[in-house]
Amino acid sequence: MIKINLLKQAKKGATAKEVAIYQQLIIGGVLVAVVVAILFFMEYTMNSAISSTRANISRLNQRLVQLNKEVNEINDFKKMKDQIKAKLDIITTLEKSRTAEVHLMDELSKCIPIDQTSILSKKLWLISLEQHGDVLGMSGVALDNSTLAEFMDNLSHDPYFGEVNLTDTQQIKSNDLLLYKFSLTCKFHPIPGAKQGQ
Assigned domain for 60 exists: no
Give residue-wise pLDDT tens across range 21-30. Answer: 888 888 888 8
The reply to whether 138 falls in a domain is: yes
Q: Is residue 5 part of a domain?
A: no
Residue 177 β-bridge partners: 174
* Residue 52 pLDDT > 80: yes
Q: Is residue 160 part of a domain?
A: yes
145 lies in a domain? Answer: yes
Residue at 2 is within a domain: no
What single string gives the DSSP state of each residue in 35-67? HHHHHHHHHHHHHHHHHHHHHHHHHHHHHHHHH
Dist. CA 128–CA 187, nearest whole Å: 16
Parent domain of 137: 112-188
Indicate which CATH number applies to the domain containing 127: 3.30.70.2830
Measure the CA–CA gap between 95 and 101, rounded to whole angstroms: 10
**Residue 101: predicted pLDDT:** 74
Q: Is pLDDT above 80 for 72?
A: yes
Task: Work out how many domains the chain is built from and give that number.
Answer: 1
Residue 192: predicted pLDDT: 57
User: What region, left, alpha or beta, does residue 25 occupy, with left being phi > 0 and alpha being psi -120 to 50 degrees?
Assistant: alpha
How does DSSP classify residue 194? P
> Has residue 175 been placed in a domain?
yes
Task: Identify which of 174, 189, 186 has the alpha carbon closest to the alpha carbon of residue 129.
Answer: 186
- Using the predicted structure, report yes or no on whether residue 12 has a pLDDT greater than 60: no
Predicted TM-score of the model (pTM): 0.48
Q: What is the dihedral of CA 189, 195, 196, 198, to 10 degrees?
A: -100
Domain assignment present for 42: no
pLDDT-derived band of residue 120, with 50, 70 and 90 as boundaries?
A: low
